[in-house]
Structure formats: structure tokens, C-alpha cells
């Protein structure tokens, strides 16, 4: 079992001017995402909730997020007063791009961001990011496979431990990532779309790739060209037409 989460250790490494207003470490929770929305009155803007395990952690499209005790990062962050759907879609993408950037810098692997919310390594999923919005309030959830071995992961997933062969101290990983995320959030606020697009161009798995996607209006095939300001995927179809995907499930990438 890896070292337990320690609130004091994490807090002491978070920058003094951090956006993290409060840090709550739980042993066991249903989902840190739900915890945030169930405790809105007592939690301040910028509160971060981390758990050793989740009994019903979930991802996009209601998929289960496997949350084995003491091994991964299961964390949600609260942003009050967002009130913009443009910002809402930006949050998921900023979260996954920022995580991808941090992981590449820290561990040196060629991690890629898979639209709209995954961090991948050679076809296996390392991390996922989820933004939920209610009444202008956003819960931004991060799930990262850190110290899990193969038996603790779903198919087509990997962990930092499996890739590097070394255990990661989550009490260092978490504050370092929060500090790095704060920088990206600041740049995003200043430069808005330009910053997101730069990160996307650097780390996107899909740029220039041929994809097949399932959407509410059917199957779409084409080549990924770019992203839109609200983080849709711009696809050039076989017949030369352009389509923007906002919500879609990627079935095939070539
Ligand atoms: C995805 O891959 O679709 C996103 C996964 C997000 C998982 C994290 S773990 C912390 C937070 N609590 C949850 O229930 N989900 C997110």
C-alpha cells in the first residue's frame, strides 16, 4: 500500500497564494464530485476534496471510475460563480490539457490528451477529467491512476507506477499538480482560447488523425483539423465538408 494521504503535507507544499481555499481529505466517499455538490453551503470557492477511495466514482457518460483504496488520485475542485457555458466546456479541456502537461514534465513520457477529457499513453488511459455544472457552479474532478498495478485497473488502462516502475508519493504529486494547474488557469483567464489552443496543438492525440465518432445524429467520419473556442472538435469529412463535434463518442482513431 502506498503512503497515506496527509492533509498537512499536501497543504504545506501548495503555493502560499494558491487558489485552493480549503483542502479536505476523506478516507472513503461515494464520489468526490457528489461530495462537492452535497456540501455547497459549507464549501468555499476553491475548495479541494480528495479521497483515499470512492465507492461510486464515475466519469463521462456515467462510466465507473475504478477507485482502489490508497492508490490513485480521486480529487474534485469547486468553482463557484462560473455562469458561462463556454467556460464550462473549457474547464474539462483545460483540466485534461493541464494534467497532460504536468505529467509529461514530471515523468517524461509522451502522454497525449484525447478529446475531450483523457490523458493517454500508447492507447491506454492514465487519467480522466470530468466537469459537472449546476446553476453556474462547477465541480472539476480529476482521476489519475498513480500507484495501481494491473489487477487494480480496468482494461486498456495504465498507471504511473506501471510505466515508471516506481511508487509515487501522492502527497507531493497533488500539491505540485495543483500549483501547475493554477498557472494554466491563470493563463487561460488572461489569454482565454489562445492558451487552450496552444496546449491542444502541443499535446492533442487527435490532431490530423482520421476518426470515426458516434453522435446523436449518427456516425461521422473525417480528419480532425482543429478545436473551436468552446472546445468542439472540427472535423473535415470525406466529401470536404466541415463538422463540429461537441458531444460525441470516439469509436475509431487512425
Ligand atoms: C472520465 O474518464 O470520464 C473522467 C473520470 C473522472 C474521475 C474523477 S475521480 C474524482 C472525481 N470523482 C468522481 O466520481 N469522478 C471524478
Q: Which alpha helices (H) appear in 192-238, and where do they start and end?
A: 193-203
**210 has which bridge partners?**
223
**Index of the ligand 1 atom closest to the CA of residue 32:** 12
Q: Ligand 1 centroid to 140 CA: how many Å? A: 9
pLDDT at residue number 140? 97
pLDDT at residue number 86? 63
Q: Ligand 1 centroid to 53 CA: how many Å? A: 12
pTM of this prediction exceeds 0.75:
yes
Considering only residues 217 and 151, tell me which one the structure prediction assigns the higher pLDDT. 151
Q: Is 180 exposed, middle or buried, given 0-12, 13-18 or 19+ CB atoms closer than 10 A?
A: middle
pLDDT digits (tens, 9 = 90+) for 109-119: 999 999 889 99
Q: Ligand 1 centroid to 36 CA: how many Å? A: 13
pLDDT at 84 over 70: no
Of 5, 119, 141, which is best to mutate to test ligand 1, by the most ligand atoms within 8 angstroms of its C-beta?
Answer: 141
Q: Ligand 1 centroid to 230 CA: how many Å? A: 21
Q: How many CA atoms lie within 13 A of 128 on its CB side?
A: 16
pLDDT digits (tens, 9 = 90+) for 86-101: 677 788 888 999 999 9
Amino acid at each position: 500500500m502506498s503512503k497515506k494521504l496527509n492533509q498537512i503535507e499536501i497543504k504545506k507544499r501548495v503555493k502560499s497564494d494558491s487558489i485552493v481555499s480549503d483542502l479536505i481529505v476523506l478516507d472513503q466517499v461515494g464520489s468526490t464530485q457528489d461530495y462537492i455538490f452535497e456540501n455547497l453551503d459549507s464549501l468555499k470557492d476553491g475548495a479541494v476534496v480528495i479521497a483515499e477511495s470512492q465507492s461510486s466514482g464515475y466519469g463521462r457518460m456515467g462510466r465507473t471510475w475504478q477507485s482502489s483504496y490508497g492508490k490513485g488520485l480521486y480529487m474534485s475542485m469547486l468553482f463557484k460563480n462560473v455562469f458561462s457555458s463556454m467556460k464550462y466546456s473549457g474547464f474539462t479541456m483545460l483540466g485534461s490539457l493541464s494534467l497532460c502537461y504536468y505529467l509529461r514534465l514530471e515523468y517524461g513520457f509522451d502522454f497525449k490528451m484525447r478529446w475531450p477529457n483523457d490523458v493517454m499513453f500508447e492507447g491506454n488511459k492514465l487519467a480522466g477529467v470530468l466537469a459537472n455544472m449546476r446553476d453556474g457552479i462547477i465541480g472539476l474532478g480529476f482521476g489519475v491512476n498513480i500507484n495501481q498495478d494491473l489487477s487494480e485497473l480496468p482494461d486498456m488502462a495504465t498507471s504511473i507506477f506501471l510505466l515508471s516502475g516506481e511508487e509515487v508519493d501522492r502527497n507531493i504529486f497533488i500539491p505540485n499538480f495543483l500549483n501547475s494547474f493554477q498557472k494554466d488557469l491563470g493563463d487561460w483567464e488572461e489569454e482565454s482560447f489562445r492558451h487552450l489552443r496552444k496546449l491542444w496543438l502541443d499535446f492533442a492525440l487527435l490532431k490530423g488523425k482520421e476518426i470515426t465518432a458516434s453522435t446523436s445524429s449518427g456516425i461521422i467520419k473525417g480528419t480532425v483539423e482543429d478545436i473551436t473556442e468552446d472546445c468542439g472538435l472540427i472535423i473535415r469529412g470525406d466529401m470536404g465538408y466541415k463538422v463540429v463535434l461537441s458531444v460525441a463518442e470516439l469509436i475509431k482513431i487512425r
